[in-house]
Structure 1
Amino acid sequence: MAQRSSGIRGARVGSGPLGEPERGDLAPRTRVSFWCGKGHHSQLSFAIEAEIPHSWDCPKCGLPAGRDRDDAPVAEGHAPYMTHMGYVRQRRSQEEGEILLNEALARLRGTI
């Protein structure tokens, strides 16, 4: 069986040494701490020139996290999960639902 020969044998696109001379120097960084309402602590790295946000989503629980440990931001209220029937009941009363159901059944039975 013939073997293939390649000039870049054993190499992949993007492979090679990944030292700073090839990529360039990293921007100077600063570490910032954030705390969520559940007490989770996360440290993020930002470029020194970047504007540091006042809040950040906690990577552990998803709640908003702030830079002050004692005054964590409060999550905005979310609507509870509702089924399709829950949304229907918001729009119609029980009596209106009964009327619509009886009309639909009458149409199916052919009495209307």
Structure 2
Amino acid sequence: MAGGNAIRGSRVGAGPMGEAERGEVAARVFVSYFCSNNHETRPSFAQEQGLVIPELWDCPRCGLPAGQDQDNPPTAPKVEPYKTHLAYVKERRSDADGAQILDEALDSLRDRGLIK
């Protein structure tokens, strides 16, 4: 048998759970958000003075942005593919610039005797 000072049939956190135990519940405002996949999300916000409800909310089901207008949900953000370092360099420099830089680098190596 267990020790005599344990309360039988209870666990941590068990007991009557009412407002008297936790305090008063704050007034809540429920706002509907709709994503482009027709998912509805209804987060709640504490109703307080100066409450600012966000225009967009991330859909917990698909991760797309959701707005409050069901007929015109926000579009999915455009995802650009991963770019390599070379792709970024080619955006900044033309092929002629690249050839000139290469020639300068090769001339420098020739001057130092590292290549023939």
Asked if TM exceeds 0.5, the reply is: yes
Partner residue, 2:101: 100
The letter for the 2-side match of 1:28 is: A
Could you state the TM-score of these two structures normalised by the residue count of structure 1? 0.65
Aligned-partner Cα distance in 1 for 2:109–2:60: 54
The letter for the 1-side match of 2:32 is: S
SS of 1:82's partner is coil
The 3 A distance-change label for structure 1 pair 16 and 61 is: closer
> How many residues are matched?
99
Q: Give the structure with the larger strand fraction.
A: 1
The letter for the 1-side match of 2:57 is: W
Aligned-partner Cα distance in 2 for 1:25–1:54: 29
Whether 1:34 aligns to 2:40 is no
SS of 1:74's partner is coil
**Unaligned 5+ residue runs, structure 1?**
1-14
Which ranges of 4 or more aligned residues in structure 1 deviate by more than 6 Å? none
Q: 1:94 deviation in Å?
A: 1.0
Q: Percent of aligned pairs with the same residue?
A: 48
Partner residue, 1:44: 43
**Unaligned 5+ residue runs, structure 2?**
1-11
